[in-house]
Amino acid sequence: MTPDQVKLVQVAPISEQAAVIFYDRLFEVAPAVKAMFPSDMAEQRKKLIATLAVVVNGLSNLSSVLPAASALAKRHVNYGAKPAHYPVVGGALLWTLEKGLGEAWTPDVAAAWTTAYGTLSGYMIAEAYSGAQAAE
């Protein structure tokens, strides 16, 4: 990511309402993943917001968030997450941000978030799965 992309991602506010919208969208486009989540999503939404805040704030020093991203990716394997879920989650996240940011969702902001998610999800997939599993 370029320094300008990092700045664009860091200025995008993430609210608790965004977490609701995100999970609603995720379950709409990938209903099968809903079984991986608790029935009471309140705590899960808080975890999402906290995780996004850590990642967004750590983008200027990516190596500072990689250990936590690796651990998170490995935990997700235990929940049943597969490499194929990452693009679906990314799509739901980008859709949520586009809806939430409205006119502030510019092509540059979209590109920055796409790059940020692609970088992090690629790392997480590599950390959590062997080469054969990552191709699934």
Those residues whose C-beta lies under 8 Å from the C-beta of residue 41, and which sit 6 or more positions away, are: 23
Amino acid in the structure at residue 116? A
Q: Alpha helices of the chain — where are they, by DSSP H?
A: 3-10, 16-29, 42-58, 66-79, 85-101, 107-128, 131-134
- 3-class DSSP state of 133: helix
Q: Along the 136 residues of the chain, how does pLDDT read in single tens digits? A: 787 777 777 655 667 788 999 999 999 999 999 999 999 999 999 989 888 888 888 888 888 899 999 999 999 999 999 999 999 999 999 999 998 888 889 999 999 999 999 999 999 999 999 654 444 4
| pLDDT computed for residue 135 by the predictor | 46
How many CB atoms are closer than 10 A to CB 51? 15
| pLDDT computed for residue 13 by the predictor | 61
Hey, what CATH class is 3-134 in? mainly alpha
| pLDDT computed for residue 118 by the predictor | 94
